[in-house]
């Protein structure tokens, strides 16, 4: 079957279902990619390097990883590696490299006819809150932020770009290094206890939640 004919048949099949056929084809392709990755390529060095470039998957596909029955171990291995990569970038990266995420987002905006008003309102509110956090971090908000689990990667990057106080930036980086190391350690135990030799130890509640928490760190919190 030729490539053209195979693609045409996919389109014909998708047209038999309600809704946009192109959306459906894309969703199926993404799902199959994740399925193959979890079953065959979790430890593939080439795949790992590609995932490092993007720090894992987007919000949607990171959560789709969790829908594959019996594959939380594979998802945990992937997300732990991505969190380690993010931690390494936090420790050794510079401001210019941290700008990449936002420059790409702004570039996408230039191609939009009109940004979503709700998104614009949400982002304006987020920016104001980040400025408040930076202003009061040292005196009032460092411990509450630690107890809350810190910022997601996107908002941490944004805070570091906005901050003009080296002491505050250093404190923010140090706080998140500590929090991310804790999550990496929990994922270490989560992965170790999947080994048949240690399954009798049982996975703690914190270890079981570390996978979802790591995804939240890398991609942001779930929508309301």
Distance separating alpha carbons of residues 163 and 9, to the nearest angstrom: 53
Structure confidence by residue, pLDDT tens digits, 163-203: 999 999 999 999 999 999 999 999 999 999 998 899 999 99
Average pLDDT over residues 46-51: 87
- Reported as type and span, the H/E element at residue 125 is helix 117-136
Q: Is the pLDDT of residue 204 over 50?
A: yes
Structure tokens at 26: 């894309």
Nearest by Cα to 218 from 58, 50, 47:
58
Average pLDDT over residues 19-47: 87
The model's pTM: 0.81
pLDDT of residue 96: 37
Are 214 and 206 in contact by the 8 Å Cβ rule? The answer is no
Distance separating alpha carbons of residues 151 and 148, to the nearest angstrom: 8
Average pLDDT over residues 54-76: 90
Distance separating alpha carbons of residues 1 and 23, to the nearest angstrom: 24
Average pLDDT over residues 136-151: 90
pLDDT of residue 113: 55
Average pLDDT, the chain: 84
Q: Is the pLDDT of residue 156 over 80?
A: yes
Average pLDDT over residues 5-33: 84
Question: What pLDDT band is residue 3 in, cutting at 50, 70 and 90?
Answer: low
pLDDT of residue 104: 44
Where exactly are the structural domains of the chain?
Answer: 42-219
Percent of the chain with pLDDT over 70: 87
Distance separating alpha carbons of residues 16 and 7, to the nearest angstrom: 15
Structure confidence by residue, pLDDT tens digits, 72-115: 999 999 999 999 999 998 988 644 344 444 444 455 445 555 67
pLDDT of residue 50: 86
């Amino acid at each position: 079957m030729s490539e053209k004919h195979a693609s045409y048949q996919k389109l014909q099949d998708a047209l038999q279902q309600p809704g946009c056929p192109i959306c459906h084809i894309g969703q199926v392709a993404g799902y199959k990619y994740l399925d193959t990755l979890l079953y065959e390529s979790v430890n593939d060095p080439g795949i790992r390097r590609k995932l490092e470039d993007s720090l894992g998957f987007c919000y949607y596909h990171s959560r789709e990883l969790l829908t594959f029955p019996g594959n939380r171990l594979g998802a945990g291995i992937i997300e732990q590696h991505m969190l380690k990569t993010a931690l390494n970038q936090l420790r050794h990266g510079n401001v210019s490299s941290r700008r990449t995420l936002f420059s790409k987002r702004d570039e996408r905006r230039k191609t939009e006819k009109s940004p979503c008003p709700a998104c614009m309102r949400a982002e304006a509110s987020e920016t104001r809150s980040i400025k408040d956090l930076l202003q009061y971090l040292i005196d009032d908000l460092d411990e509450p932020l630690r107890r809350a689990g810190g910022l997601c990667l996107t908002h941490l990057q944004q805070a570091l770009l906005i901050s003009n106080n080296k002491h505050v930036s250093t404190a923010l980086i140090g706080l998140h290094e500590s929090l991310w190391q804790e999550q990496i350690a929990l994922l270490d135990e989560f992965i170790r206890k999947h080994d048949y030799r240690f399954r009798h130890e049982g996975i703690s509640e914190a270890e079981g939640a570390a996978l979802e928490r790591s995804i939240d760190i890398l991609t942001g919190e779930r929508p309301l």
